[in-house]
Structure 1
Amino acid sequence: MRIAVVGAGGVGGYFGTRLAVAGNDVTFVARGRHLEAIRRNGLEIRSPLGAVRAPAGSAVASISELGPVDLVIVAVKLWDTDDVAKQLRPAVDRGARVISLQNGVHKDTILRRHLSDEAVLGGACYISAFIQEPGIIIHNGTLQKVVFGDYQREQTPLAQTFLAACRTAGIEAEISSDIERLIWEKFVFLVGLSATTTAIRQPIGVVRAHPRSRALLRDLMAEVVAVGQASGVSLDEKFADDRLTFCDTLPAGMTSSMHNDLEHGNRLELPWLSGGVVELATRTGISVPRNQAVADILAPYELGRPPRD
């Protein structure tokens, strides 16, 4: 496949490199020193599953430099989605389809403001990976999975082709016939993980071990379930309890990308996580006091580490 990966961070860098090593024609859109390192030395993945490296020179600085592609994987931070969607219109006009592996439930709505509904595949990924230094991605643990599907539920040949490409690359992958529900299910977990690890400044092991922070984790996820149900998504009433049990299976040191961004003084995806829950709850008339509290606590850090007087 001819694949473009817009955003070569932990998610895009990991999956794009695996696909490139398996023989697909992958081009990364990257920035700054990360771009320079990929052009010079390729993109290296350091993982318990084995180290792999995408070839040198497999990166460009902008979407406008891409040649014809079959699929565009969007993996930028959520605040860049609107701008990226506008830039992808020429690629879509040439026949490309787009799949976002970003966080949250707002991403595809933003993409479809600028691209046709048929061009956008729904997608979700499950991985913990970060840029360690320019040109090097660290994969934490062995979880690395993508799930995707057409919103129209009748899966197109491209979805099947991408499934085969992922599996050949050693990526755990599957097609979902109800991708909207699956994206919301991930959102439930993601909000709980990101909110607690970031607000408490500790990995999931610490969060789940204390009764009060454990209750906070469960309540945050239960609020997302309630908002999803009010938005017309068929989420199980006990899904928050199911995800709490799932959290008990995670490595104690696992954290979230938002916690990682906070620790490094970076901008946070807060408006699309707990802040996004608050926004959607306002539309549907649902009370979400736990997510509101997290959004308020983290608000001073939303644009990065606040200056000190």
Structure 2
Amino acid sequence: MRIAVMGTGGVGGYFGAKLALAGNEVAFVARGKHLEAIRANGLRVESPLGDMHLPKAAQATDDPTEIGPVDLVLFSVKLWDTETAAEAIKPLLGEHTAVVSFQNGVMKDDVLRQVLGPDHVVGGVCYIAATIAEPGLIRHSGSLQKLVFGEYDGSLSDRVRQFRDACVVSGIDVEVSDRIEQTIWEKFVFLVGLSGTTSTARVPVGPLRTHPRSRAFLHDVMDEVVQVARAQGVPLSADYADTQLAFIDQVPAGMTSSMHNDLERGSRLELDWLSGDVAERGAKLGVPTPCNRAICDILSVHSKGRAE
């Protein structure tokens, strides 16, 4: 496949490297010192599953017009850059090009549809702990590395089948979903709970799930997401937060969230698209969201990052 990675961070860098090393033609869109390092020394990935290195001959640019039309865009920029990045990738689109967002949140594909048109948008979620450790280097923690995607109408299209096959050959754990909107909301429940609580308490998930009061708060944060989803017509079970809490009991105690990592670095937070989105939707739907509102209020002083 001919693939463009829009946003060569932890997600785009890791999965893009896997796809490239399996023989796909992959171009990486990056910027700043990260782009300079990739051009000079290639893209490196450190992972418990095996380190990877793409030589500096790998195509890397900050200008999507240099790439031209592709079969698929792996879209993984920070949420506040979604609209700007979507405008920038228009030169990558052919008639049947799929744009799969592996960003956080549930509003991402609404923005992509508005900018690119619904025919190009394929729903997706990813499961991985990876980040830019230094310019040109992606560091993957743990063994989890999975992509789930699918057409919003539930069909198994040629482009979804082709991407699935490319992932299999690349050694990526992959699943095609015929109910991708529900799948995205299921991850959103977990993500909002993990990001909001680890960031507010500034600890990994282990202490949160073992202390009775913080465990109850974690459950309630997720349950608010479930109730908002159900009010919107997403068919999550009423006790889905219990299911997710049981899942959280199985993850490594040291697991944290990308928002917690951003907070520790003094970077901008995706707060408005996570707990903030839940609180805003809840207010419109008449669903109480006091826990997510509290997370927004507490973290609001850090949401723009120290640099700003």
TM exceeding 0.5? yes
Tell me the percent identity: 55
Between the aligned partners of 2:91 and 2:17, the Cα distance in structure 1 is 25
How much has 1:41 moved relative to structure 2?
Answer: 1.3
Structure 2 equivalent of residue 2 of structure 1:
2
Deviations 1:259-280 (A, max 9, x none): 0000000000000000010111
Q: Which one is further off, 90-99 or 279-288? A: 90-99
Letter of the aligned partner of 2:186 in structure 1? E
Runs of 4+ more than 3 Å apart: none
The more displaced of 33-42 and 220-229 is: 33-42
Spell out, residue by residue over 1:84-134, the C-alpha distance to the aligned partner (whole angstroms, 9 max, x if none): 112223322454220000001010001011112111000000000011101
CA contact 1:269–1:302 (8 Å) conserved in 2: yes
The alpha carbon displacement at 1:79 in A equals 0.3
Q: Any conservation in 1 of the 2:71–2:98 contact (CA below 8 Å)?
A: yes
Match of 2:19 in 1: 19
Counterpart of 2:148, as a letter, is V
Residues 240 and 156 (structure 1), Cα distance of their counterparts in 2 relative to 1, 3 Å cut: same
Counterpart of 1:130, as a letter, is T
Who is 2:290 aligned against?
289
C-alpha distance in 1 between matches for 2:272 and 2:194: 15
What does the per-residue CA deviation read over 1:174-216, in whole Å, with 9 as the maximum and x for residues that have no partner? 1000000000000000000000000000001111111111111
Q: Give the AA of the match of 1:151.
A: Y
| RMSD after superposition | 1.2
Please list every run of 5 or more consecutive structure 2 residues that lacks an aligned counterpart in the other structure: none
- What residue is the counterpart of 1:270 in the other structure? 271
TM-score (normalizing by structure 1)? 0.97
**2:70–2:94 contact (8 Å) kept in structure 1:** no
For the residues of structure 2 that align with 1:74 and 1:10, how far apart are their CA atoms?
12
- Residue aligning to 2:113: 112
The equivalences for 1:138-287 within 5 A come to: 138-287=139-288
Give the TM-score of the pair, scaled to structure 2: 0.97
Question: C-alpha distance in 2, partners of 1:7/1:269?
Answer: 15
| Consecutive unaligned residues in structure 1, runs of 5 or more | none
Show the counterpart of 1:51. 51
Q: Secondary structure at the match of 2:56?
A: coil
Residues 75 and 102 of structure 1 are in contact (CA less than 8 Å); yes or no, is this contact kept in structure 2? yes
Whether contact under 8 Å (1:68, 1:94) holds in the other structure is: no
Q: Are the counterparts in 1 of residues 69 and 94 from structure 2 also a CA contact under 8 Å?
A: no
